[in-house]
Structure 1
Amino acid sequence: MRILLVRPQYRGLYKLIKANAKKNLVVPPLGLLYVAAMLEKSGEQVEIIDGEIESFTIRELALEAVKRKPDLIGVGATSVDFHLAKIFAEEIKKCSDITVILGGPHATVLPDKVLQENSCFDFLVRGEGEVTSVELVRVLKNSGKAGLKSVLGISYKMGRDIIHNPDRPLFNFQKDCVWPARHLLKLNKYMFPSPKKGMRQMTVVQATRGCPFGCIYCYKMFGHVVRQRSISDVLAELKYVVRDLGCERVSFVDDTFTLDSSRVIELCEGIVKEKLKFGWICLARADTINTAMVKAMKAAGCDMISMGVESGNDAILKAIGKGENRADFVNAFSILHNEGMTARASFILGLPGEARETIEETIRFSQELRVDRAFFNICTPYPKTLLWDIAENGQALSFVDREFEYFTRWGNSVIELPGISAVDLKAYQRKAMIDFYCRPKIIFKHLTEFLSGNAASYYYRPLLFAIREKLKDVFSRIKSR
C-alpha cells in the first residue's frame, strides 16, 4: 500500500516573535518518522512531505499529496495546529477519495468532537501510533472495514455511529522501537543554532518515553510510566546520525532527560568513548541536577539545558503540582552556571491562584536566576489536563476564547483571572521579555556569542524582539512629552 505522511506548514501560528521562513529552526516531525519506520518495516511503501520545510501553503500541500497518488494519507496534530490538519484534509476530500487518518494529541483527547464535526477524517489513531498504524493499514488492505474491530486504539464512524475501539497498551519502546525513518526527509534542511558556528544540520533523538510527574498543565501523551531504550541502542543511533547522516546537533526530546543520573552519565561516557563530536541540548528538572552529571554532559558535547521553572512563587508551584520549589531552581541553575553550561528557563504567567504580585514575582525571579535565555508563556489550558478542568469550571481562571488555533501561549491569551484580563496577560508577557533580555549582561552574552561565530539570526529573535519593544516604549514616552 502507498502511504503518504504529511505535516502542514505551521510557521504562522506563533505571533509574538515572527519567524523568517528561510532562517527558521525547523525540527523534524519525529512522530511521523517513527510511524513511517514501523510501516516500512511491515512492508509498506511510505513517503513524507514536510510542508514547513517545503514552504507549501495548505492548498499546495494538498495538491502535491494528491499528485503522488497514495492509497492513504496520515497527518498528525496537536490542539493548536488541528485547524491546519482539518483544512488540509478538507482540501484532499474536495478532489479525491483518498483515505485520511488523523493521529496525535488532539485526536487522542477529543475523538468524539473531531469525528462529529469533521467528515474529512476517515479514521483517528489515538495514543502512540506506531503499532496501531501498522495494524490499521494491514486490515484496510486485507479485510476492509470488516476487520476494524480488531484494531486497538482507533476511532471511526460506522454510519451515524462513532466507534471507539479499546485503547492500545503503551508501546514497548524498550524492545520494539525502530529508528526514525530519517531517509524520507531532506535532512540538510533541518537546522539548529550552534555555538561559534551558527545554524547547523540537526536531528532529534528520543531515549525515553513517559513522565512520572503530575503537573496540572501537561497532557501525558506517552503516559506516566518511563520506558527507557538501552544505552547501546541510543549510542548506535547517535553514531548513525552523526557519522552517516552528518548531523552536527541533536535535540533530545525526552520529557526529562536527566531523570536517571547514572544512566545519563553512562550515555555521556559512551559518547566520549566513541569520540562522537556533536553539540546537543535536552530538557531537565531542577531536582534531578547534580554537578557530576552536568560535568559528564558537558564533556559529551551538551551545550544547553532547558528547564521549566513556571513560577517564582512557592505556593503557586505547589498548587500546579510542580513538585519543586524556588530553592531547587536556584541550586540547579547555579550548578549549570558554575560548570559553564548555557541555561534556558521557561515560565508560565497567569497560573491558577495568580495575582499581579505573583506574576511580577516570577518576572523578578527570572532575573535572579543564573539563566542565559528565558521564555515566558501565557497560561493555556489544554484538553484532558487538570488545568483544562479548572478553566472549564471557572475556578481561579476562565476561558475567554475556545478556538484552539489561538491556544499558542505566545502573543495571545485565551484565559483571564480575577482582576487580570487577557490583555493584561499579553502585556505581562511583553514586559517579562523586555525586562529579562534588555539587561546589560544578557545583551553582552548574546553579543559575545555573535562575535564568536554564532551568526544565526533565529537564535537572537527573543533579544531583538525585546530591544525593539523597549525602543518603542522609549520613543513613545519621548513623543508624549
Structure 2
Amino acid sequence: MKTDVLLIHPLYGEETEQRIFQPGIEFPISLLYLSAYLEKEGITNDVLDLRMEHDPERALHDQIQTEKPPVVAITASTAAIENAAKVAAQIKAIDQEIVIAIGGWHASALPEETLKKYPQFDYLIHGEGEVALTNFMKCIGGGSSTAGCKGLALRVNGEVQINPREEFISNLDEIPFPARHKVPITKYHPKPGTRNYLRLPSTGILVGRGCPYRCLFCYKGVWETSIRFRSLENVLEELEMCIDQFGIRDFRFYDDTVTSPRWDLKRFCEAIINRKLDIGWNCWSRVNDVDEEKLRLMKKAGCYHIKFGIEFGTEKALRLARKGATLDQARSAVALAKKVGLECKGSFIFGIPGETLEDCHKTIDFALEVSPHFATFYAFDPIPGSPFYRRIAQREIDPKRDMLPRDIAQDLANEAYKTFYFRPVFILQRLKSLALHPKREGLMLLNGAVMVVTYLLRRVTKTSMPFRRQDSGEQWII
C-alpha cells in the first residue's frame, strides 16, 4: 500500500546528550498519536524513529527510496531541531519534490523563525497537530490550496504566513490510542539510572493535555494552559490494551497533572485495585498536589516512583518563577512520600533571572535538607516560547545584568550532583535497596554510576553550551 506520509523522529540533539541523566529512548507518544489519528481519517502513514536505527542515515535513505512518500512530517524539540533540519536536507537531496513539514514544540514556539532559518522545511504545523496535519494532508492529496489551512505556517511571496491555530479537540476520547504497532514498542525504555521504569517492557501514557500552571520557565504553547482530560474508562482501556497486546505492565505518565485535583486520581487508583491490574507506574507531581491519603492510595495502586518539580531552595526564586508553591510544601511532599514508602525524585534549577549565587547555593542546601531519594539538577536555559524566553527576546531581561553566566549555573549543577550523590546517607540508602532488590538495583546503580562519571568527564573536556543568538540578533536559543 502506498504511504501518504512518512512520520519521522530525529536523533536527540547535543543538549540532551550532555545531560547527566540520559533519557534512553523514550516512546514517541506525540508522533504515534498523529499516526493513529491519520489512520482513522484514511491517510496511510509509516513511522521512522531514527533513534532506534543502528545506521540512521542509511535507514532514512532506504526508506525514502523504497516508499517514495509524497509528504514527510518531522517532529522536533528545540534540542533536536538541528538534527531535524539535517534529516530534511538529506530527504531533499534524494528527491526535491517531497514535501516536508516540521512540527513539535520548537516549531510551535517559533514558527516564523523556524521557517526563516531552515529553508529545507516547506511547511510548519503549530499547535495541536492531529486535526491540523490531517487537513493539511487532505489539501495536499486533493490538490487544494494550503494557504487557508489552520495550524499551518508557510511561505507566501517570500514572507512567512502564520495561519490561526486549529481548535483543540474537546473530547480526547475521540483520539485513537497511540499507534504502538507502528514501532518496536517493547524496545523503548529509559536508562535504568533515571528510575523511570520498574520492569520491562514499559511505555508512556497521557491522561490529559494542557497544564493550568504558569511557571515562567516553562512553555505551554502546544496545549496551552487549558486542561482537558480523557475519561477514566478510556485510560483504563488503554492500560488493558497494552497488557493484552504487548505484555506491557509498566507505565510512565508524562502529564504534569496526574495528581491534580481536577482529575479523579482516587477513582483511577481504586479502579486499578478493584480490577486487580498487575501494573506499576510512575508520574510527575507538583508538591502542593499531594497529601498522605493520596500517596498511600497511589502506592497501593502500583505507583512506585514520583517526581516532584521542587526547582528552587528559596522563596524568592519560587516567586520569581511564579511557581505557585512553597518550600514547606516541598518539605511536606517529600517527607510524606518517604513515610508511605514511595520513591521520589526532586528536580532543581540554577540561574533563573534574578537569582544570585547565594540563592543557588541555598538550593543545593535545600536539596540536601529535604533529601528525596534521587535528584536532578539543571542550569537554566530559556525555553523558546516560555515567558522568560520572551522577556529576554524583548530585552526586558538582560542576561548579562540579570542572570548568572551560563557556565556558572552549570558549575552549580555539577557541584550539586557531586554533593548530593556522594553523601554517605545516599550511598547507605542505595546499599539497603540493593540488598532488597539485587538485580534491579544493581543494574540501576551501575548505569547511574556510568552516567555520572561520563557526564563529569564530558564537562571537564567540553566547554559549557553558551547562549547563541539567531541571525536576527533578537532571539535566544539553546
TM-score class, shorter-chain normalisation, is 0.7 to 0.9
Correspondence for 2:467 = none
Secondary structure at the residue paired with 2:45? strand
Correspondence for 1:333 = 334
**What's the CA shift for 1:419?**
8.0
**What's the CA shift for 1:62?**
4.2
Correspondence for 2:470 = none
Alpha-carbon distance in 1 for matches of 2:20, 2:294: 36
Correspondence for 1:8 = 10
Relative to structure 1, is the Cα distance of residues 358 and 330 closer, same or farther in structure 2, using a 3 angstrom cutoff? Answer: same
Q: Letter of the aligned partner of 2:127 in structure 1?
A: G
Alpha-carbon distance in 2 for matches of 1:295, 1:109: 38
Q: Superposed, which structure 2 residues align to 1:16-95 within 5 Å? A: 16-17=18-19, 25-58=24-57, 60-95=59-94
Alpha-carbon distance in 2 for matches of 1:423, 1:468: 18
Query: 2:216 aligned with 1:210, yes or no?
Result: no
Relative to structure 1, is the Cα distance of residues 396 and 101 closer, same or farther in structure 2, using a 3 angstrom cutoff? Answer: closer
Secondary structure at the residue paired with 2:201? strand
Alpha-carbon distance in 1 for matches of 2:89, 2:405: 36
Q: Superposed, which structure 2 residues align to 1:179-218 within 5 Å? A: 179-192=177-190, 193=192, 200-218=200-218
Relative to structure 1, is the Cα distance of residues 215 and 419 closer, same or farther in structure 2, using a 3 angstrom cutoff? Answer: closer
8 Å contact from structure 2 (residues 10, 84) kept in 1: yes
8 Å contact from structure 1 (residues 268, 296) kept in 2: yes
Secondary structure at the residue paired with 1:6? strand
Secondary structure at the residue paired with 2:323? coil
Superposed CA offset, 1:57-86 (max 9, x none): 346434433433212111111122111111
Relative to structure 1, is the Cα distance of residues 48 and 347 closer, same or farther in structure 2, using a 3 angstrom cutoff? Answer: same
Alpha-carbon distance in 1 for matches of 2:133, 2:397: 40
Alpha-carbon distance in 2 for matches of 1:197, 1:47: 27
Correspondence for 1:366 = 367
Query: 2:453 aligned with 1:454, yes or no?
Result: no
Superposed CA offset, 1:439-477 (max 9, x none): 1221223334444121575665555555788999xxxxx
Alpha-carbon distance in 2 for matches of 1:116, 1:471: 37
**What's the CA shift for 1:133?**
1.1
8 Å contact from structure 1 (residues 343, 370) kept in 2: no
Q: Letter of the aligned partner of 1:226 in structure 2?
A: I
Q: Letter of the aligned partner of 1:164 in structure 2?
A: I
Which range moved further: 204-213 or 385-394?
385-394
State the percentage of identical aligned residues. 26
8 Å contact from structure 1 (residues 9, 56) kept in 2: no
Relative to structure 1, is the Cα distance of residues 116 and 15 closer, same or farther in structure 2, using a 3 angstrom cutoff? Answer: closer
Which range moved further: 97-106 or 449-458?
449-458
Q: Letter of the aligned partner of 1:252 in structure 2?
A: F
Superposed CA offset, 1:370-413 (max 9, x none): 40110011111122221113333555651xxxxxxxxxxxxxxx
Correspondence for 1:437 = 421
Number of residues paired by the alignment?
Answer: 451
Secondary structure at the residue paired with 1:65? helix
Superposed CA offset, 1:170-195 (max 9, x none): 22243422211111010121124498
Alpha-carbon distance in 2 for matches of 1:170, 1:157: 24
Of 154, 167, 172, the match for 2:170? 172
Correspondence for 1:407 = none
Which range moved further: 66-75 or 200-209?
66-75
Secondary structure at the residue paired with 1:191? coil
8 Å contact from structure 1 (residues 126, 155) kept in 2: yes
**What's the CA shift for 1:225?**
1.0
Alpha-carbon distance in 2 for matches of 1:282, 1:84: 29
Which range moved further: 353-362 or 448-457?
448-457
8 Å contact from structure 1 (residues 248, 279) kept in 2: yes
Q: Letter of the aligned partner of 1:214 in structure 2?
A: R
8 Å contact from structure 1 (residues 19, 458) kept in 2: no
Relative to structure 1, is the Cα distance of residues 469 and 206 closer, same or farther in structure 2, using a 3 angstrom cutoff? Answer: closer
8 Å contact from structure 1 (residues 242, 248) kept in 2: yes
Alpha-carbon distance in 1 for matches of 2:389, 2:246: 41
Correspondence for 1:477 = none
Q: Letter of the aligned partner of 2:38 in structure 1?
A: L
Secondary structure at the residue paired with 1:454? helix
Correspondence for 1:133 = 133
Alpha-carbon distance in 1 for matches of 2:189, 2:167: 35
Alpha-carbon distance in 1 for matches of 2:388, 2:13: 26
Alpha-carbon distance in 2 for matches of 1:437, 1:241: 35
Secondary structure at the residue paired with 1:101? strand
Superposed CA offset, 1:294-316 (max 9, x none): 11110111100101111100011
Relative to structure 1, is the Cα distance of residues 446 and 12 closer, same or farther in structure 2, using a 3 angstrom cutoff? Answer: farther
8 Å contact from structure 1 (residues 443, 463) kept in 2: no
Alpha-carbon distance in 1 for matches of 2:132, 2:350: 38
RMSD: 2.7
Relative to structure 1, is the Cα distance of residues 191 and 285 closer, same or farther in structure 2, using a 3 angstrom cutoff? Answer: same
Q: Letter of the aligned partner of 1:101 in structure 2?
A: A
**What's the CA shift for 1:142?**
1.2
Relative to structure 1, is the Cα distance of residues 429 and 196 closer, same or farther in structure 2, using a 3 angstrom cutoff? Answer: closer
Q: Superposed, which structure 2 residues align to 1:105-124 within 5 Å? A: 105-124=105-124
Alpha-carbon distance in 2 for matches of 1:159, 1:456: 60
Relative to structure 1, is the Cα distance of residues 25 and 175 closer, same or farther in structure 2, using a 3 angstrom cutoff? Answer: same
Alpha-carbon distance in 1 for matches of 2:160, 2:16: 33
Alpha-carbon distance in 2 for matches of 1:170, 1:392: 28
Secondary structure at the residue paired with 2:203? strand
8 Å contact from structure 1 (residues 191, 199) kept in 2: no
Which range moved further: 28-37 or 260-269?
260-269
Correspondence for 1:426 = 410
Relative to structure 1, is the Cα distance of residues 125 and 205 closer, same or farther in structure 2, using a 3 angstrom cutoff? Answer: same
Query: 2:393 aligned with 1:392, yes or no?
Result: yes
Correspondence for 2:98 = 98
Relative to structure 1, is the Cα distance of residues 14 and 106 closer, same or farther in structure 2, using a 3 angstrom cutoff? Answer: closer
Give the TM-score normalised by structure 1.
0.87
8 Å contact from structure 2 (residues 217, 382) kept in 1: yes
Q: Superposed, which structure 2 residues align to 1:279-294 within 5 Å? A: 279-294=280-295
Relative to structure 1, is the Cα distance of residues 178 and 87 closer, same or farther in structure 2, using a 3 angstrom cutoff? Answer: same
Secondary structure at the residue paired with 2:200? strand
Query: Displaced runs of 4+ in structure 1, greater than 6 A?
Result: 194-198, 467-472
5+ long unaligned stretches in structure 2 = 459-478
Correspondence for 2:227 = 226
